Amino acid sequence: DKEDSLKIAKLIQRYPKEELPVVPIPTDEEEDNRRLCTEHENWTRQLTQGKNRLHSLFTQAGLTEITKKHLRTKASRETSVTLLPDRYHKEAERILKVLDLVELNLKLIEEDIKGALKINQVYVQTIMSMPGIGMITSLAIMSYMGDCKRFLPVNKPPTTLV
């Protein structure tokens, strides 16, 4: 915004060009990995929305004993849909087709992610050794932070403006 722009302009005027921090432009590989992360997030969101739509059909039909837990796997979704009355059945079948397509796309994206992670296995293994960090998060870290060379070591004092 305007205030940030003014702060940046003052810093540029005040300090020599060599002392200003430099942020490297992402490589093509990093851009591709960022797109994979975004695409995975979007397809995951669509999967959740589809399951929620299917669950709302069960609620509308008065089948409240079918919970979202029953809609996790393809097989359990298909068996649950057979319980729906005819007027809801066609819509549920269409939602099931969409969910199948979304799950297929997610599997394809996850294969691409595994391939992207194989490029830098040592770094990825280090990242994934941290608790709570899986495949997707490690790809995000790798694509947004890179190899972390732009960050100073703990024992080295900063020489540039932060």
pLDDT in tens, 45-68: 999 999 999 999 999 999 999 999
Task: Return the DSSP state at 154.
Answer: T
The whole-model pTM stands at: 0.76
For residue 71 the two structure tokens come to: 């809609």
Q: Which helix (H) or strand (E) holds 143?
A: helix 135-145
Look over the chain and give the mean of its residue pLDDT values, rounded to a whole number: 89
| Cβ contact 136:10 at 8 Å | no
